[in-house]
Amino acid sequence: MKVKVLRYKKEHNPFQEFIHIEDMGGGPEVFTSAVPKLHPETATLELMQQLMDDDDYYEGLELDWDTVELVEFDLIDSGVVGADIRNKLSPPKNLVSMLEVFFKEKDEEKKYYLKRIIKKEMTQSKKSIKYIANLL
């Protein structure tokens, strides 16, 4: 799932820490964290700035909007991508195993059937590799 997060630009903060604007009891304050605060995918920096400029609640908030950026962030369930990659690696792994058997095989009739299976596995391997290449 894609979300937006507010963070400092690299030239203003080399760690590009995430920015939180929270009410700490005495009004809104800006603080940073290693953990992002999630904003909807439809959020824009201009809209956030306009909303805060128009609301008296945020008056006096010390945030230089030129030092921050709102970036798209992928929110992924833990373990999901790893399992997906593991599953997609099965066809290439099978293909390598079949090729090893094919090159050791002396019987031409067995090699003929192995070629047919290898061609099918090649097609599936291409799909898997393309999927993995476009994952991130």
pLDDT of residue 78: 67
pLDDT of residue 109: 93
pLDDT of residue 53: 87
Query: What global pTM score does this model have?
Result: 0.53
Continuous H helices in the chain: 45-54, 80-88, 90-104, 108-133
* Regions of the chain where pLDDT drops below 70: 77-80, 136
**40 phi-psi bin (left φ>0, alpha ψ -120 to 50, beta other):** beta
Residues 90-104: tens digit of each pLDDT? 999 999 999 999 999
pLDDT of residue 129: 92
pLDDT of residue 79: 66
